[in-house]
Chains A and B, each alone.
Chain A
Amino acid sequence: MQDVIEGRVWVLGADVDTDGIIGGKYLTIIDPNELKKHVFEIALPEFAKGALPGDIIVAGENFGCGSSREHAPQALRAIGVGAVVADSFARIFFRNSINLGLPTVEASGVRAIFEKGDTARIAMRAGTITNVRTGASVRFPPLPHHLLELLEVGGLVPKVRQELEARARGASA
């Protein structure tokens, strides 16, 4: 993860649930590259075809509510989303995203300053999101150090792998 993330914006409303991100009928798909074809089929149908790597999702309150399915952030990551920003998140979606290494930023008031196609610039450590077109910006409390570190290594899988490798080296040293 870079400290400053910049990308083209797609906007969504409030209360987008995990069914709206990836429908229940796709939950038996294991390959993320298959999964990504169906992302936002209900909430934003033109997204799957039009998305470019690095695009940023900007949503309203309570993004990712509903079930605990990890398929939702998995599909977003697979299609190359650079960051997900929302006025607020549901608890398990937020955790799942960070654990998968998908930058996830909660910034109250952010939805109001963006329109589709704008460019967003997110300064992760400084805690600001700016609309490059209009100059408008909102501040957010930066993620705690521990979570920034988790994003930097790419999520929980590489993080635990590093830790286990270090432990194995320690044991054989």
Chain B
Amino acid sequence: MSTQRGHGATLAEKILARSSGLDEVEPGQIIEGKVDLAMMHEQGAQTVGPFHEMGATEVWDPERVVIAIDHWVPASTEGAAVLHRILRKFAAEQNLPHFYDVGNHGICHQILAENGWVVPGDLAVGTDSHTNMLGAMGAVAAGIGPTEMAAVLALGRLWLKVPPTIRINVKGTLGPGVVAKDLVLRVLGEVKTTGATYKSVEYGGPAVAGLSMPERFTICNMTTEMGAKCGMVAPDQTTYEYLAKIAKHPMHPLQPDGDAAYERTVDIDLTDMEPMVACPYSPDNVRPLPDVVREHIKVDQAFLGSCTNARIEDLREGAALMRGHKVHAGVRFIVSPASTAIYQQALQEGLLELFTDAGAVFTNSSCSACFGGNMGIIAPDEVCASSSNRNFPGRMGPKEGRIYLMSPAAVAASAIKGEIADPREVAA
């Protein structure tokens, strides 16, 4: 097909055309998109006020609204308890059946992923900035503010400016001990934290075709750190197999045109790529891990968790290194699975025992230490090796705290060695 520009359409353009009922759209155009899935976490409590001020009386489609609390679970402060209660009351009044409350909880993005709430071709929105992760389903998934979420709940649609697309073509294969997290850190090092502001990031190429769904979640998750409105991978057999038993709605898979008009194309070759690490105080301050290892940076805390990297595959990756080792004296190693289902899986596989025997603390599933507001807060000048996605000043509490972002295996290696370490140098 051709568009007005005489070029093909990107995946984001195809999906936004579908959701707005238009034949084609172009970057910069403002459209009214029909929302397929709306997700709220604690910040969703702020949508209740504007929802009523709008004079809305009922949610447009209770079957397409998911509430998942995750930042403070169970509530650790009175303020958090009040937010939770506002959401519970709203869900009860509006008969919203899909509330993932304490006991059935998890990080909101993981809840959407593992329960098949977002499917190929969808337009999904959430009150959290890392909603981008769900673009791995071949969808446009974006973070929005609470007032616009109120409008979405009232009308089932929202205005969007069609973003231009940056295409990231990846080829080559990941070497031993090098994983999808290293790939996305490498991309961040090139695109930088404002390089994709207002834009869509579309990953493709032979290496991306070979990535599993959990790996695709990781690379789409951190498009938020590039400033992107959304990040995605076109759906393929891997996507369909992942969703086969769990998809909540019918899929409408779309593909980018072969001659799509990309604003910019970035080529990445994984051949001989080292593990990567993002140093304080920005996710784009990326260096090859071996260079940082040589500086012998002592670690006070290690964190294996967050929506970026706390799926069962990530826990197994960390556990493979821990086997036969102990957490280094003086290091607090926090392991927090991304959902209750993952917690149970880890329990069955003996990973709880393995981590706790080694001297780690295995917590309830939540955002945990990722955002410095609940637990796992560090002291000023302390260092944390983390599998999460942000290392800005103050992210884990004090503005002086130093966070190094890396793969789950590198976090486990650092917990064992007591300093930033290369997983390839820890004998499994």
Closest residue on chain A to residue B80 by CB atoms? A28
How many Å lie between the Cα of A156 and that of B143 in the bound state?
A: 17
Q: Is B342 an interface residue (CB 8 A)?
A: no
Residues of A within 8 A of B146 (CB): 70
**B141 CB to nearest chain A CB (Å):** 14
Closest residue on chain B to residue A70 by CB atoms? B145
Closest residue on chain B to residue A88 by CB atoms? B197
Q: Is B90 an interface residue (CB 8 A)?
A: no
How many Å lie between the Cα of A79 and that of B229 in the bound state?
A: 29
Contacts A66-B392, A96-B147, A99-B145 given; does A164 touch B55 at CB 8 Å = yes
Main secondary structure of the interface of A (DSSP, over half): helix
Residues of A within 8 A of B49 (CB): 30
Q: Is B148 an interface residue (CB 8 A)?
A: yes
Interface size of B by Cβ–Cβ distance < 8 Å?
Answer: 33
For window 102-128 of B, CB contacts with A under 8 Å fall at 127-128
Q: Is B394 an interface residue (CB 8 A)?
A: yes
- Give B369-402 as 1s and 0s: 1 = Cβ < 8 Å from A's Cβ atoms: 0000100000000000000000010100000000
Q: Which of A24, A91, A164 has the most CB of B within 10 A?
A: A91
Say whether B155 contacts A163, CB under 8 Å: yes
Contacts A67-B129, A68-B129, A92-B143 given; does A157 touch B392 at CB 8 Å = no
Residues of A within 8 A of B194 (CB): 61-62, 65
Residues of B within 8 A of A66 (CB): 392
Across the interface, B54 reaches (CB within 8 A) one of A92, A100, A146, A164, namely A164
Residues of B within 8 A of A28 (CB): 79
Residues of A within 8 A of B197 (CB): 62, 88, 90-91
Say whether A161 contacts B54, CB under 8 Å: yes
Main secondary structure of the interface of B (DSSP, over half): mixed
Residues of B within 8 A of A30 (CB): 49
Say whether B30 contacts A147, CB under 8 Å: yes
How many Å lie between the Cα of A96 and that of B53 in the bound state?
A: 17
**A172 CB to nearest chain B CB (Å):** 14
Across the interface, A161 reaches (CB within 8 A) one of B43, B53, B144, B145, namely B53
Q: Is A155 an interface residue (CB 8 A)?
A: yes
Say whether B129 contacts A160, CB under 8 Å: no
Residues of B within 8 A of A163 (CB): 155
**A154 CB to nearest chain B CB (Å):** 11
How many Å lie between the Cα of A144 and that of B161 in the bound state?
A: 10
How many Å lie between the Cα of A125 and that of B151 in the bound state?
A: 26
How many Å lie between the Cα of A21 and that of B86 in the bound state?
A: 26
- Give A65-100 as 1s and 0s: 1 = Cβ < 8 Å from B's Cβ atoms: 111111000000000000000001011100110011
Say whether A160 contacts B227, CB under 8 Å: no
Closest residue on chain A to residue B227 by CB atoms? A91
Contacts A68-B43, A157-B53 given; does A95 touch B394 at CB 8 Å = no
- Give A135-158 as 1s and 0s: 1 = Cβ < 8 Å from B's Cβ atoms: 000000000101100100001110
Residues of A within 8 A of B373 (CB): 24
Say whether B155 contacts A155, CB under 8 Å: no
Say whether A160 contacts B155, CB under 8 Å: yes
Residues of B within 8 A of A144 (CB): 30, 161
**B373 CB to nearest chain A CB (Å):** 8
Q: Is B260 an interface residue (CB 8 A)?
A: no
Say whether B147 contacts A157, CB under 8 Å: yes
Say whether B55 contacts A156, CB under 8 Å: no
Residues of A within 8 A of B151 (CB): 99, 156, 159-160
Residues of B within 8 A of A147 (CB): 30, 159
Q: Is B320 an interface residue (CB 8 A)?
A: no
Say whether B144 contacts A95, CB under 8 Å: yes
Say whether B30 contacts A160, CB under 8 Å: no
Contacts A91-B227, A146-B30 given; does A155 touch B147 at CB 8 Å = yes
Say whether B147 contacts A161, CB under 8 Å: no
Q: Is A6 an interface residue (CB 8 A)?
A: no
Can you give 14 contacting A-B residue pairs, CB < 8 Å? A24-B373, A68-B144, A70-B147, A91-B198, A91-B227, A95-B144, A96-B145, A96-B148, A99-B145, A99-B147, A144-B30, A156-B50, A160-B54, A161-B54
The 5 A-B pairs of least Cβ separation, nearest first, read: A96-B145, A160-B54, A70-B145, A28-B79, A146-B30
Q: In the complex, given contacts A70-B146, A99-B145, A157-B50, what are 9 additional A-B residue pairs having Cβ atoms less than 8 angstroms apart?
A: A61-B194, A68-B128, A68-B143, A69-B43, A92-B145, A144-B30, A156-B147, A157-B150, A160-B154
